[in-house]
Structures are given as structure tokens and as C-alpha cells.
Amino acid sequence: MLCPSPRPRNAAATRVAILDAARARFAAESYDDVGMRDIARDVGVDAALISRYFGSKEELFSTVLDNCPDGGELMQGERSEFGRRVAQHIVFEPKRAEKMQALSIMLRSVGSAKASEVVRRSSSTRFYGPFSEWIGGPDAAVKARLASGMIMGMAVSRDITGGYGLTPEGCETLRDRLAVILQSVIDA
């Protein structure tokens, strides 16, 4: 009788499965509470394989953050239409689970010295730096922080409460006022 052949290995699929499991773990638990063995168990691999693919837990966490949405869509389009475009998205577009998951990962891990440094570095290089550069001019970094804080606050408020609780006309008014505020931050 022939022995069954071993299951074929697919390094790329295993790497993706590890990243997916790590993303889910880091979104549900703090950085300090997530163990490499937990992630390995979720995927059905040995923890040594995770270390071989990603190195340390810190490097795995960094890779997870690098694979989260980076807010680059804010910088797509004309600068003069920024406020209107972003306000339209915040008020009328459906929430994206992956954006909320990325925020959850960062918020849950900010209490860890190692993780907070990775979050700071990742958000600076992947978002705040490019956004500031896109804004340009004096105080670009300040403008980027103000605009992103308002955007994040409005999006989180919407997602936590399940919407804004406004009539369609109220939503249009919210969009129009938010557009003016966001554009004034960028143009100031």
C-alpha cells in the first residue's frame, strides 16, 4: 500500500495566514498579551516558523501594521477638493472593518513601550510624514495632526454610535460644515 504524500507546502499562503492570525490577535488583545505560540496555534504551525518568516514579535507586529490601511486615499485627488472629498467619505461612505481593526490594534498596544514605539514609527513613516508632505508649506505637520484628529474622531464617533443619528438633510449639513472645517485646516 502506498503512503499518502505529505501535504504540499505553500510558504506564501502560510505567511498570509500568520499575518491574518496576528492581525486578529493584536486587534483583540494588547501587544503584551499576544504570544507567538498563540498565533502559531491559531494557524496550526510551529512558533519557530513564525520566527523564521518574521523574526521577533516586534517585527511581526511591525509587519501587521505595515499591512493595515495607511490613509493614502486622503491624499488622492486635488488639494482644493480635500475637505469636500473627505467629508463626503466620512459622512456617507460605509465603514471599512479593516480601518477599525487597524485603529484597534494601535489603541490596544499603545500601553506597551515596545509596541508604542513601533506604532509611532509606522504612523510617522506611513501616514503623518506623507500627509504633511502632501499638505506642504508652513506648519504642515500641525495641519496634518489637526486634520487627521478631526477625521479620526468623526469616523470613530460614527462607527461607535452606528451613524450620526441625523436626517438625510442633517447629514448633508454635517458634510458641508465638515468640508469647510477640513479645507480650512489644510489651507490655513
**How large is the average pLDDT for residues 9-26?**
91
If pLDDT is split at 50, 70 and 90, which confidence band does 9 have? low
- Number of helices (H) and strands (E), helices first, in the chain? 10, 0
pLDDT band for position 5 (cuts 50, 70, 90): very low
Give the Cα separation of 130 and 89 in Å (integer): 20
Q: 78 is written with which cell numbers?
A: 486635488
Mean pLDDT over each residue of the chain, to the nearest integer: 90
SS3 category, 76: coil
Output DSSP code: residue 117.
H
How much is the pLDDT for 128?
Answer: 95
Sequence letter at residue 164: Y
CA-to-CA separations, 71 to 67, 84, 138, 172, in angstroms, rounded: 12, 16, 22, 23
Mean pLDDT of 51-79: 91
pLDDT (mean) for 164-185? 96
More confident residue, 65 or 9: 65
Chosen CATH of 72-187 out of 1.10.357.10, 3.30.70.1350, 3.40.50.2300, 1.20.120.1750: 1.10.357.10
Stretch 29-36: mean pLDDT: 94
Cα–Cα distance, 90 to 176 (Å, whole number): 11
CATH of span 11-66: 1.10.10.60
From residue 35, how far is each of 11, 17, 48 by CA, in Å? 21, 16, 12
Query: Which residues make up the CATH 1.10.357.10 domain(s) of the chain?
Result: 72-187
| 64 band by pLDDT with thresholds 50, 70 and 90 | very high
Sign of CA dihedral 153, 172, 97, 62: negative
Predicted TM-score (pTM) of the model is 0.82
Does pLDDT of 51 surpass 90?
yes
CATH 1.10.10.60 residue ranges for the chain: 11-66
Instruction: Please report the pLDDT score of residue 68 as a whole number.
Output: 86
